[in-house]
Amino acid sequence: MAIGSLLRDRDVQYVALKDDATNTWRILDTWNAALKEFDVEDDIPDDNEAVQIITEAAFIALIKEATRLGVLENASLGNNDVNDEDLLALERENQELQEKLSKIEENVVKYKEGPKKPQYSENYAIKDRAIQAIINLAGMADVEKISEDK
């Protein structure tokens, strides 16, 4: 059975495979007419016009340039099962979960800091010091009285 007709029906036109032995990438154009003569069991030679060979250094340069241009951000990994509505719903859910996480993290930080001491006005602080001084003086008078009783 000819492989060309089987490959032409694929959704994905190109297939890439890395050869670790030679540090090269082989890219097969599955829709290329040159594959019509091959059977399913046949190996496709590297010199076939449907095969492109790229060195690893060239591949890395290609990825760097594609990243710089922003092409990789829009790349699809072939998962066509998710439609735009589902993707938007997942993004909204992700945003909501991120907001909840932020609030929880804020609460954890507040809990670790412990309760904050209340801020008082300067007037209140002066009165509080005066009361503390009176209590201390009253306590000293009691101590003197106790020491005199001996």
Span 76-106, pLDDT tens digits = 665 555 677 878 888 899 999 999 999 999 8
- Asked if residue 116 has pLDDT above 80, the reply is no
3-class DSSP state of 120: coil
33 and 7 inside one domain: yes
Query: Residue 74 gets which letter from DSSP?
Result: G
pTM of the model: 0.44
Q: Are residues 10 and 42 in the same domain?
A: yes
Say whether both 98 and 128 belong to one domain. no
Look at residue 61 in the predicted model and tell me its pLDDT: 93
Tell whether 103 and 56 lie within a shared domain: no
Total residues found in the chain within this entry: 150
- Same domain? 40 vs 95: no
Domain residue limits at 130: 120-150
The reply to whether 49 and 106 lie within a common domain is: no
Per DSSP, the residues of 3-66 read: HHHHHHT-S--EEEEEETTTTEEEEEETT-GGGTT-BTTPPPPTTSTTEEEEEHHHHHHHHHHH
Residue 73 has pLDDT above 90, yes or no: no
Asked whether residue 105 falls in the same domain as residue 142, the answer is no
Note whether residue 79 is domain-resident.
no
Tell me the mean pLDDT in the region 53-61: 93
pLDDT for 98: 93
118-137 average pLDDT score: 87
Question: Are 52 and 19 in the same domain?
Answer: yes
- Nearest-Å Rg of the Cα atoms of the chain is 39
pLDDT of 7 > 70? The answer is no
Q: Which residues of 103-134 are buried (b: 16+ CB within 10 A; e: fewer)?
A: eeeeeeeeeeeeeeeeeeeeeeeeeeeeeeee
Note the pLDDT of residue 84: 73
- Comparing CA positions, the residue from 59, 27, 32 lying closest to residue 46 is 27
- The model's confidence at residue 45, banded by pLDDT at 50, 70 and 90, is confident
